[in-house]
Structure 1
Amino acid sequence: MKRLIDLTLAVPLFILSSPIIVITFFLIRFKLGSPVLFRQKRPGLHGEPFYLYKFRTMTDKRDSMGNLLPDSIRLTTTGKFLRKYSIDELPQLLNVIKGNLSLVGPRPLLMEYLPLYNQEQSQRHNVRPGITGWAQVNGRNAISWEEKFKLDVWYVNNHTVLLDLKILWLTVLKVIKTEGINQSGNVTMETFKGTESTLGEGHR
């Protein structure tokens, strides 16, 4: 049922948003150059890796040692606009159509975070990850990692079709209000370094 809803909504949404996708493609190509898409390996259902697609919002500027500069420096004005209205997320509709993502589920984070989760937090991978989720409509990047993971696990244990529809509606409202995009003091979410329970287990 969840997969059917994903396809029923994602395919029309991709078609309807195709003019915005095309305009954004050429805007990024002109402003930032190639590549236009940001492609990164992320953990999917049961932690199985897949490639997530987003529109590129940052430059590749590096320091004299070849290290990438901080996100706050690399994030462009165009990138800020795309993030503000979640336009950079539109290519993920292709991930939904392919079956890597669901419209609703815990956000897929970085592969290197997998060993840092405690037993409870790792439950977030018991369902297919999503473009939006319970944590996104309850704070997004403005809440701590611990709060975010608790919301993710709650969703895993309580998700229903009606809850998914509620989350999708709340997501639309969040995008319109542009709430919770940044963590306080950061343009992106700070790096997850594990909790005390995982640190005590030697980052297995």
Structure 2
Amino acid sequence: MKRLFDIVLIIVALPLLFPVLGLIALLVKVNLGSPVIFRQARSGLNGETFEMVKFRTMSDVKDEQGNLLQDELRLTKFGRFLRSTSLDELPELWNVLKGEMSLVGPRPLLTDYLPFYSEEQRRRHEVRPGVTGWAQVNGRNAISWEDRLTLDVWYVDNQSLWLDIKIIFLTLKKILVREGVSPQDQEIMQRFDDYIKGK
């Protein structure tokens, strides 16, 4: 039922999504160059690796030695806009159609984090990752890693079609007010593995 809900909702929205996707792709090309799409390995259902796709939000600015600068320095004003509106996430609908993701579920995180989860936190991989999720509508990136992962596991234990519908509507509200996009004291949320190592 959840899978059918995902596919039907995307198909119904396609007439509206295609022009938006095309416009954003053009703007990314103009502002940031190629490639327009950012690809990265993420952990999905049962911890299996898949390639998640997003619109690119960072430049390729490098230091004198030819190394890419830190993420905070490469995130452009245009990239911040894409992130604050979650428009950079729209290509993930392709991952949903492929069955690698769902519209709602725990956000897919970097594969580097797998060794650092507790047994309870690892339960977030019992369902497909989502474009949005319970943690995203309850603080997004502005809450701690512990709270974020606890909310992910709560979703696993309480998932239902009605909860998914609620999360989708709450997500649209969050996007409109651009709430909880970044931690209050930093531009980009700290990596989970760095957080665990620093405890």
- Normalised by the size of structure 1, how large is the TM-score? 0.92
- 1:88 matched to which residue of 2? 88
Number of aligned residues: 199
Deviation by residue 1:136-165 (Cα, 9 ceiling, x = unmatched): 000000001000000000110111111111
- 1:7-86 aligned at under 5 Å gives the runs 7-86=7-86
Partner Cα separation in structure 1 for residue 135 and residue 179 of structure 2: 13
Deviation by residue 1:57-109 (Cα, 9 ceiling, x = unmatched): 00122223443212221011111111111111110111111111100000000
Deviation by residue 1:7-45 (Cα, 9 ceiling, x = unmatched): 011222233111111011111111111100001111110
Give the superposed CA RMSD.
Answer: 1.8
Counterpart contact for 2:112–2:193, Cα < 8 Å: no
SS in 2 for 1:165: helix
- Normalised by the size of structure 2, how large is the TM-score? 0.94
Range moving further from structure 2, 117-126 or 16-25: 16-25
Counterpart contact for 1:117–1:194, Cα < 8 Å: no
The 1:57/1:194 distance shift into structure 2, 3 A limit, reads closer
- 1:125 matched to which residue of 2? 125
Counterpart contact for 1:118–1:195, Cα < 8 Å: no
- 1:147-186 aligned at under 5 Å gives the runs 147-186=147-186
- The one-letter amino acid paired with 2:134 is W
Partner Cα separation in structure 2 for residue 15 and residue 109 of structure 1: 30
Partner Cα separation in structure 1 for residue 67 and residue 17 of structure 2: 36
State the percentage of identical aligned residues: 54
Counterpart contact for 1:116–1:195, Cα < 8 Å: no
- 2:113 matched to which residue of 1? 113
Counterpart contact for 1:42–1:50, Cα < 8 Å: yes
The 1:133/1:65 distance shift into structure 2, 3 A limit, reads same
Partner Cα separation in structure 1 for residue 76 and residue 195 of structure 2: 32
Counterpart contact for 2:62–2:68, Cα < 8 Å: yes
The 1:42/1:109 distance shift into structure 2, 3 A limit, reads same
Structure 1 ranges of 4+ moved more than 3 A:
none
Partner Cα separation in structure 1 for residue 41 and residue 96 of structure 2: 15
**Structure 1: segments with no counterpart, 5+ residues:** 200-204
Partner Cα separation in structure 1 for residue 164 and residue 174 of structure 2: 15
**Structure 2: segments with no counterpart, 5+ residues:** none
